[in-house]
Chains A and B, each alone.
Chain A
Amino acid sequence: MTTRIDARFAELKKEGRSAFVTFLMAGDPDPATSLDIIKALPKAGADIIEIGMPFTDPMADGPSIQAAGLRALKGGMTLKKTLEMVRGFRKDDNTTPLVLMGYYNPIYIYGVDKFLADAKTAGVDGLIIVDLPPEEDEELCIPALKAGLNFIRLATPTTDDKRLPAVLANTSGFVYYVSITGITGAAAADSTVVGDAVARIKRHTKLPVCVGFGIRTPQAARAIAEKANGAVVGTALVDALRDSLDTKGQATTKTVAAVADLVASLAQGVRGAKQAAE
């Protein structure tokens, strides 16, 4: 099965560069603005788009992404509306991969089979579910693979060589390497250390490896893009969005551009990488 994610990495390989992966929270700060932002991302240079599914108790996220989720929920966002947003995006773009990222409970309550069918129809390509390790693969991972969606697993500095095969077994699309032990928005990891970690993972898989957590600047994005198949930026984009809001937390005329401009400059960083990792 070839998904939009597989196709995108094949294209990038031809171009000889790494992917720039963006993360933003669905419905932040309101559903309409959020869709406008997502629509602006490919043109600004995003190769793959991760969309957060808001959850009240995001226990692996730092203050910025926690706040983004709460803004979205306050604005009335639900999982159903997140899927509507994906459909809205797909009206004009049938090639940019879309990955939903979040926690399991809203999906479990929506109903796993119904969710997978609706997500596939809406145009979702992959899922990253923070609180579903390989030990719980029967819950969603296996059904997602059967439904034709990629299930993208997180690997971390605590995932040792003994455990890596289990983590990679049912992973597809790409591997998301979390460069630090910590929550989103924490300090960046050293790119040399990241390079070693990526090389270690690549000894166990042919899948592309993207690296996230702690990347905030074009320079940092470039350094990571030289070591990995993709660099993921989330908190820095969420912060730019937040800084563009008015005092009541509502979107302003600057909001979409604030995010798109930062995406463009980070994309420059990724595209300036000397050589993408093989």
Chain B
Amino acid sequence: MNPSLPNSFRTGPDESGHFGNFGGRFVAETLMPLILDLEKAYAAAKADPSFQAEMNGYLKDYVGRPSPLYFAERLTEHLGGAKIYLKREELNHTGSHKVNNVLGQIMVARRMGKKRIIAETGAGQHGVATATLCARFGLECVVYMGAVDVARQAPNVFRMEMLGAKVVPVQSGTRTLKDAMNEALRDWVTNVHNTFYCIGTVAGPHPYPMMVRDFQSVIGDETRKQMQEAEGRLPNSLVACIGGGSNAMGLFHPFLDDPSVEIFGVEAAGHGLTQLHAASIAGGRPGVLHGNRTYLLMDDDGQIQDAHSISAGLDYPGIGPEHSWLHETGRVTYLSATDDEALAAFMLLSRLEGIPPALESAHAIAKVTELAPKRPKDHLMVVNLSGRGDKDIPQITEILKGKKQ
């Protein structure tokens, strides 16, 4: 065994928020006191049984958990290898895994007495989840969304507005997810006294990567139990798509110390890794952005490069710091799927199982079509179906029209 490997992959981060060399707290001084307060408030909540009990109540009756672990029989037959299970996060209220994290953060915000919630969103799934829970708890909600994403994810924009949130189209920079995050940080610096920043993924300054992972770990915890019930053993492999990487981290984390479980993260390869893409691990290197050190897409001068993915939710030039660490330690294998592969997987799952996946999740399905046929029939493969594809149907219709012409 490699002596530099830790005894456990599940003990991070350290006290200063580092996963190996990654993570940290790279933020403006204005925000630092608040981040320290948040760290304390979250530690107190985590230690309080009534917090967990209240959360479990909402997870069950409001979100609709546990989400099913579904045996995808026709996809399995079609691929002719591993037995494929879908973790049905798309059946959650609001249509994706995002709600698990937002519920947790909103409950922490309530404990801290914050009345105004801000969020960034790419595909709009995190924005919708945040708008939903702000409506439920009577909180003011402002969602920053890149102007490019506002155009390509119109159904989610209407949904957020209908729920009472203010959606701010961000015109700065490349007008996508990273710029929405910049703008949310600018809002936070300005309104630090009354505002809680509800970050949508396992990124940002400590304690966010840890806190979001903890809230999303319900995905992996349930999967473990459900697979035990269905097959009487652990799965052999896990597959999930990665933008910032919260659905993946939620599925992976409870299995990190089970060496028999192979783990695959799938980044967005966009037009291909030699062209415009959003695969930070495959095509980037360590740098510092948005409060943490992690793999980033950038040029030789350290300027952040434009990411590209067909999926707005993966269109981000970075990745959560814990993923960077899991990549460097070799515990998780990071692959990538192109726009075209994701589109094909979207069609495949729709036709074979009657489940249109979100374009984000379609990236994971795309790699399953390569991994599953190479594995034996008793190999149990779990893929996180992190979101539903309804929001993507207008965009996909346009793309298919374009291809016919």
Contact = CB atoms under 8 A, between A and B. Distances in A.
A183 interface: yes
Interface stretch (A142-150, A159-167, A268-276): A159-167
A155 B173 CA distance: 28
Interface stretch (B189-197, B321-329, B333-341): B189-197
Given A66-B172, A156-B30, A57 B289 contact: yes
A263 to B, nearest CB: 26
A217 interface: no
A121 interface: no
Interface string A66-98: 100010010000111000000000000000000
B271 interface: no
A163 B35 CA distance: 13
Contact of A183 (B25, B190, B288, B303): B190
Contacts of B179: 57
Nearest to B172: A66
22 contacts: A56-B303, A57-B179, A57-B182, A59-B186, A59-B290, A79-B302, A105-B298, A108-B287, A108-B293, A109-B301, A110-B301, A130-B28, A133-B28, A135-B16, A135-B25, A158-B31, A158-B33, A178-B30, A181-B30, A181-B190, A183-B186, A183-B189
Which of A59, A62, A163 has the most C-beta atoms of chain B within 10 angstroms of its own C-beta? Answer: A59
Interface string B274-303: 000000000000011111010010101111
Interface in A84-139: 103-110, 130-136
A17 interface: no
Contacts of A178: 29-30
A78 B301 contact: yes
B302 A110 contact: yes
A36 B296 CA distance: 35
A31 interface: no
B277 to A, nearest CB: 17
B169 interface: no
Interface of A: 54-63, 66, 70, 73, 78-80, 103-110, 130-136, 153-160, 163, 167, 178, 181-183, 186
B26 interface: yes
A56 B27 CA distance: 16
Interface residues of B, number: 38
Contacts of B30: 60, 154, 156-158, 178, 181
Contacts of B182: 57-59
Given A182-B190, A183-B189, A160 B302 contact: no
A186 B189 CA distance: 11
Interface in B175-206: 178-179, 181-182, 185-186, 189-193
A158 B300 CA distance: 35
Given A57-B178, A135-B16, A181-B192, A109 B24 contact: no
Give chain A's interface secondary structure class. loop
B304 A133 contact: no
A153 B190 CA distance: 19
A131 B288 contact: yes
A266 B211 CA distance: 47
Contacts of A133: 25-29, 32
A196 B12 CA distance: 42
Contacts of B192: 158, 181
A54 B182 CA distance: 15
Given A135-B16, A156-B28, 14 more contacts: A56-B303, A58-B182, A62-B186, A66-B172, A104-B26, A104-B288, A105-B289, A109-B298, A131-B26, A156-B29, A156-B30, A158-B34, A159-B33, A160-B33
A109 B26 contact: no
A66 B182 CA distance: 11
A78 B25 CA distance: 25
Given A131-B288, A155-B29, A107 B190 contact: no
A183 B179 CA distance: 15
Contact of A186 (B31, B173, B185, B190): B190
Contact of B288 (A66, A105, A110): A105
A197 to B, nearest CB: 13
Nearest to A131: B26
Given A136-B25, A154-B29, A158-B33, A105 B302 contact: yes
A66 B183 CA distance: 11
Nearest to B25: A135
Given A183-B190, A186-B190, A59 B303 contact: no
B300 A181 contact: no
A50 B293 CA distance: 26
Interface string B120-153: 0000000000000000000000000000000000
